[in-house]
Amino acid sequence: MDKLKLLEERIREDGLVLSGDVLKVNQFLNHQIDPDLMYALGQEFVRLYKEESITKILTVESSGIAPAIMTGLIMHVPVVFAKKQKSATLDGGLYTAKVYSYTKKVENTISVDEKFLNANDNVLIIDDFLANGQAVNGLLDICELAKAQVIGVGIAIEKSFQTGAELIKKRGVRLESLARISSFEGEKVHFAGDAEN
């Protein structure tokens, strides 16, 4: 099956629409993880960005790590995840960015150790969800601080009716989302490009 259809099918089968426009995908992405599906997503990101010479994958803990690591595995490049908590073992300099979560109504600081990102890097940012784009926006800020070049962003599930996709494109960054949700209707998920939309 087509990789994008594979993810859409899985969302239709195992995704649960919760109130507040939230899609629960604990069955294959956010709690239990389906490695075969994650690998298929990685293959698709690699196919989409095959013309580019990417040196590093960047994501944010925790749920971005699964699709990110599969992409890094296939590309044979390191995967760096931004940390949400200050760690006692983070010694040297850090690149940090503020990330406001509309869902949780809290501002978090995410950080990447300076030794894992630099001006020679061509970065592909990967994340599981794109909602309001605050996480990706923070990762873009971190790349700017590191003077790393951002090749693009790869998202597993985009909620196209929220503001994130527009925000990323406004920053002039290429965005590839494997499943694009145009709306929720009761328990039903509508994808961009569906005939019934």
- As annotated, the binding site for xanthine includes 23, 30, 159
User: Judged by CB, which is closer to Na ion: 40, or 139?
Assistant: 139
Which residue from 162, 155, 160, 149 is spatially nearest to 177, judged by alpha carbons?
A: 155
* Of 16-24, 85-93, 147-155, 187-195: span binding ligand G4P (CB under 6 A): 16-24
| Binding to Na ion in span 45-74, by CB under 5 A | 63-64
Choosing from 62, 87, 118, 120, the residue that interacts with ligand G4P (CB under 6 A) is 62
- Binding partner of 131, given ligand G4P, Na ion, none, CB within 5-8 angstroms per partner class: ligand G4P
Which residue from 58, 1, 23, 76 is spatially nearest to 67, judged by alpha carbons?
A: 58
Structure tokens at 102: 């509309």
22 binds ligand G4P (CB under 6 A): yes
Question: How many Å apart are CA 150 and CA 173, to the nearest integer?
Answer: 7
Question: How many Å apart are CA 173 and CA 186, to the nearest integer?
Answer: 33
Structure tokens at 35: 């490695």
166 binds ligand G4P (CB under 6 A): no
Q: How far is the CB of 24 from ligand G4P (least distance, A)?
A: 6
ω into residue 62 within 30 of 0, thus cis? yes
Identity of the amino acid at 181: I
Choosing from 7, 11, 23, 77, the residue that interacts with ligand G4P (CB under 6 A) is 23
User: Judged by CB, which is closer to ligand G4P: 23, or 148?
Assistant: 23
110 binds ligand G4P (CB under 6 A): no
CB 121 within 8 A of CB 146: yes
- E strands within 70-121? 79-82, 94-101, 106-113
- The residue ranges that bind ligand G4P (CB under 6 A) are 22-25, 30, 62-64, 101-103, 128-135, 159, 164
